[in-house]
Amino acid sequence: MNIKILVADDEKVMRELICDILQNQGYETVVACDGEEAINLFKQEEVDLIVLDVMMPKYDGWTVLKKIREYSDVPIIILTALESERNEIHGLTSGADDYIIKPFSYEVFVARVNVLLKKQIRKKSQVLNYKNLQIDQLSCKVFVCEKEIQLTNLEYKLLLYLVENENIVTSREQIFLSVWGYDNSQTTRTIDTHIKVLRAKLGVCGDYIKTVRGIGYSFSKEE
């Protein structure tokens, strides 16, 4: 899932600064230079959040806020240079979700954006993607070539452990300790058996799990 943020500000420098910050966070940005453009863009793009400057040509920020709130609950952050309490209250009571005064600190800005994107971020950050293999940690579902495969809980945990240690060779002992909580690797072939089943279930992605003879296993999507 890609998160898209609409940035509306008439000053080029500010616009680019904000976009840079957001892109650094891995978000996609769409820019508007005036109120009218902001409203139009919002209608045609699927936007997850709006950063809205108050002073803009055509429509000012307040007007844009009001118009968008007539039909959408999208989170909106109001940006302004005016440090006035009146303004802040006005912004918040007109339906804004947050209110930030310029100049703002990078970190606080990012933190406040992230609070409003909490749900989307949660979803996004829980999906692991490896070519034909996707692992959704929220629904605990695993997909190979877009098709869901059924793993048992243990198989799922084992796969997750290997994936979390991508490109790192882990011994059977380490795997046992991390996934099972105890070590039984000296006497049994338990892990090998599960790896076998896992590879089979992963189908074309089965060989992402590499055997490192004499040591253990490692997950790597390379060839």
In the complex, which residues of this chain contact DNA (CB under 7 A)?
A: 150, 152-155, 180, 184, 187-190, 192-196, 199, 211-216
Q: Is 83 in the site for a second copy (CB under 8 A)?
A: no
The alpha carbon dihedral of 200, 203, 207, 209 has a sign of: negative
Q: Is 215 in the site for a second copy (CB under 8 A)?
A: yes
Q: Is 171 in the site for a second copy (CB under 8 A)?
A: no
Residue 211 partner contact from a second copy, DNA, none using kind-dependent CB cut-offs of 5 to 8 Å: DNA
Residue 96 partner contact from a second copy, DNA, none using kind-dependent CB cut-offs of 5 to 8 Å: a second copy
Residue 192 partner contact from a second copy, DNA, none using kind-dependent CB cut-offs of 5 to 8 Å: DNA
User: In terms of CB distance, is 87 or 190 closer to DNA?
Assistant: 190
Helix (H) or strand (E) holding 101: strand 98-101
User: In terms of CB distance, is 63 or 114 closer to a second copy?
Assistant: 114
Instruction: Calculate the CA 11 to chain-centre distance.
Output: 28
How many Å apart are CA 210 and CA 216, to the nearest integer?
Answer: 9
For residue 27, CA distances in Å to 7, 30, 91 come to 12, 10, 24
CA-wise closest residue to 129 among 163, 179, 168, 167: 163
